[in-house]
Amino acid sequence: MRQYQYHLKEERKTEKIFCNQCGKEIIVKNEMPQEDILTVEKRWGYFSEKDNEVHRFDLCESCYDKLIAQFVIPVEKENG
Ligand SMILES: [Zn+2]
């Protein structure tokens, strides 16, 4: 979940990021999150029941780990 600060020329800067699952604030300095997070943005299409809705959320790493621990098929991992 992101809170934005609006400036001139309709430019928006990410001011605050919160993990949607646990509510933890992710520190942002110079527009860079200071820890790695998962950001999901999905526009649901015609064949969904959410016709054209855009859903967005952010998860901190530990909430991401809890989420993928529930998967029946593990995530694919690659190094490098
Ligand atoms: Zn979290």
* pLDDT of residue 6 exceeding 90: no
For residue 68, what pLDDT is reported? 98
Cα 23 to averaged position of ligand 1 atoms, centre (Å): 6
Residue 14's identity, in one-letter code, is T
| Predicted pLDDT at 57 | 97
Structural contact between residues 17 and 24, judged by C-beta atoms closer than 8 angstroms:
no
Kindly give the distance from the C-alpha atom of residue 61 to the centroid of ligand 1, in angstroms, as a whole number. 7
List the shell of residues around ion ligand 1, using CB closer than 5 Å. Answer: 19, 21-22, 24, 60, 63
Q: Provide the pLDDT for residue 30.
A: 84
What is the model's pLDDT at position 69?
98
Distance 20 CA to ligand 1 centre (A): 7
**pLDDT at 13 exceeding the cut of 90:** no
Q: How far is the CA of 33 from the centre of ligand 1 (A)?
A: 14
DSSP 6: E
